[in-house]
């Protein structure tokens, strides 16, 4: 005899499917059937960890460095991350402010747990990375999307935040460079945003997971604007270690004890092996490899953006970071979700529909990830060049 299952928590209804991952499943199914699929739907570098990192992993495993670590991570890695901010961005960060986490997802979950009360509103851009809303939902906060447009490079501004600040708003979560648009907030404007939020007594969380993949001009961290800002980053993107699940937060000195208490209970600690391996990310040899790979990502961007425009797609804002382009497909379809599925089935080219990223004209946009080899990007363009004329509206 079976009885009715108890109801799930109400918050689960506020979580929507992650359409990029659904499209990946379809692409994998087509490949299993023998189809050739060029997957530009997922934001994962096609590079793997450099040899020194893999060697460090093997050495740590053989040495038995698999026990629990401190909740905030091993001291040498926290020191290495702090040193990275000094050498790369010219900012002095005390190592005890570094919180090593099981990826940026765990970092932002931890930040939301520490800062968001039930009913608190948190301002985000629309479009935005879909998981950002869910970190807030997980603690019964209210993700509050602010529509942004090409006029602001699909980013929030201080004026937009000021105009949308209302009773119950607790802070903002912003990303620069951003997923899905690949655009950054001009650094002076970022300072204005932080000052606006600070004046209202709110918190600023700045996701800098793609900061190392900034292509135009000098990359600068939001930490320049004060030690009251919370910054997240990760070994996934610039350091090419997505499945290793390792990231970090930089938190204000006064928050360290609270964040440590929460991390101890929620996560125990990040992967010990991944932490010991990550120390090798910061060697001169590994950093040289990462910089070379960054140049390759830039070359892909410099190829794919003009190519998309030549095909008839709109690229309303040229991306300056990450490995995404947010493209307008309205010349070919009034429904980007249908278009994305149709393109995958017809010619084996996968992109993510705008539905994943918010409510600001999602039917108009697709996200393209150029985190794949240049030869594959060229092949995708040729497939689209043949197919797209039959799809054009009017």
Q: Read off the pLDDT of each residue in 37-46 and give the average, rounded to a whole number.
A: 92
pLDDT of residue 167 exceeding 80: yes
Confidence tier at 24 by pLDDT (50, 70, 90) = confident
| Domain extents in the chain | 10-48+286-391, 53-281
* Residue 230 phi, psi dihedral angles, 5° rounding: -105, 125
Provide the pLDDT for residue 21: 77
Is the whole-model pTM more than 0.75? yes
232-256 per-residue burial string, b: 16 or more CB within 10 A, e: under 16: bbbbbbbbbbbebbbbbbbbeeebb
Return the sign of the alpha-carbon dihedral for residues 236, 240, 245, 250.
negative
Joined together, the tokens standing for residue 232 give 């997240």
Q: Read off the pLDDT of each residue in 311-338 and give the average, rounded to a whole number.
A: 97
pLDDT over 90 percentage in the chain: 91
pLDDT over 70 percentage in the chain: 99
pLDDT of residue 2 exceeding 70: no
Contacts of 206 (CB under 8 A, 6+ apart): 174, 175, 176, 190, 222, 229, 230, 231, 232
Q: Does the domain at residues 53-281 carry the CATH identifier 3.40.47.10?
A: no
Provide the pLDDT for residue 16: 80
pLDDT of residue 1 exceeding 60: no
Average pLDDT over the chain, rounded to an integer: 96
Confidence tier at 393 by pLDDT (50, 70, 90) = confident
pLDDT of residue 17 exceeding 80: no
Provide the pLDDT for residue 136: 97
Q: Read off the pLDDT of each residue in 61-70 and give the average, rounded to a whole number.
A: 97
Confidence tier at 214 by pLDDT (50, 70, 90) = very high
The two domains 10-48+286-391 and 53-281 share their CATH topology (first three levels equal) = no
Q: Express each pLDDT in 183-194 by its tens digit.
A: 999 999 999 999
Provide the pLDDT for residue 343: 96
* Structural domain 10-48+286-391, CATH architecture: Alpha-Beta Complex (3.90)
Provide the pLDDT for residue 394: 62
Which has the higher per-residue pLDDT, 285 or 8? Answer: 285
Which has the higher per-residue pLDDT, 38 or 1? Answer: 38
Q: Looking at the chain, which runs of residues are DSSP E strands?
A: 38-39, 98-101, 121-126, 142-147, 169-175, 203-207, 230-234, 247-250, 324-328, 349-350, 352-353, 365-369
Q: Read off the pLDDT of each residue in 284-303 and give the average, rounded to a whole number.
A: 98
Q: Express each pLDDT in 230-273 by its tens digit.
A: 999 999 999 999 999 999 999 999 999 999 999 999 999 999 99
Confidence tier at 171 by pLDDT (50, 70, 90) = very high
Q: Read off the pLDDT of each residue in 353-357 and give the average, rounded to a whole number.
A: 93
pLDDT of residue 104 exceeding 70: yes
For residue 238, what is the enclosing H or E element?
Answer: none
């Amino acid at each position: 005899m079976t009885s009715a299952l108890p109801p799930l928590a109400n918050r689960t209804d506020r979580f929507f499917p992650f359409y990029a991952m659904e499209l990946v499943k379809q692409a994998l199914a087509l490949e299993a059937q023998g189809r050739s699929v060029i997957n530009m739907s997922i934001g994962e570098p096609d590079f793997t960890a450099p040899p020194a990192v893999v060697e460090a992993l093997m050495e740590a495993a053989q040495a038995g460095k698999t026990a629990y670590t401190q909740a905030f991570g091993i001291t040498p890695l926290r020191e290495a991350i702090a040193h990275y901010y000094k050498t790369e961005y010219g900012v002095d960060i005390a190592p005890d402010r570094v919180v090593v986490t099981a990826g940026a997802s765990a970092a932002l979950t931890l930040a939301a747990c520490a800062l968001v009360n039930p009913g608190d509103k948190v301002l985000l851009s629309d479009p935005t990375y879909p998981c950002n809303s869910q970190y807030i939902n997980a603690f019964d906060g209210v993700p509050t999307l602010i529509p942004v447009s090409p006029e602001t490079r699909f980013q929030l501004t201080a004026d937009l935040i000021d105009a949308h600040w209302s009773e119950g708003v607790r802070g903002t979560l912003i990303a620069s460079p951003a997923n899905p648009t690949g655009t950054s907030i001009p650094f002076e404007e970022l300072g204005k945003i932080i000052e606006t939020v600070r004046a209202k007594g709110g918190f600023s969380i700045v996701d800098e997971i793609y900061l190392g993949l900034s292509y135009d001009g000098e990359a600068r961290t939001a930490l320049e604007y004060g030690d009251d800002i919370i910054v997240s980053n990760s070994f996934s993107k610039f350091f090419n270690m997505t499945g290793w699940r390792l990231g970090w937060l930089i938190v204000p000195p006064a928050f360290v004890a609270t964040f440590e208490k929460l991390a101890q209970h929620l996560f125990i600690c990040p992967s010990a092996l991944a932490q010991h391996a990550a120390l090798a990310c910061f060697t001169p040899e590994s950093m040289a490899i990462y910089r070379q790979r960054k140049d390759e990502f830039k070359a892909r961007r410099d190829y794919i953006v003009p190519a998309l425009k030549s095909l008839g797609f709109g690229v309303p804002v040229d991306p300056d970071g990450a490995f995404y382009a947010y493209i307008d497909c309205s010349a070919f379809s009034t429904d980007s979700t249908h278009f994305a599925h149709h393109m995958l089935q017809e010619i084996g080219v996968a992109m993510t529909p705008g539905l994943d990223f918010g409510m600001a004209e999602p039917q108009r946009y697709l996200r393209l990830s150029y985190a794949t080899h240049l030869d594959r990007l060229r092949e995708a363009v040729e497939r689209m060049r043949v197919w797209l004329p039959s799809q054009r509206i009017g």
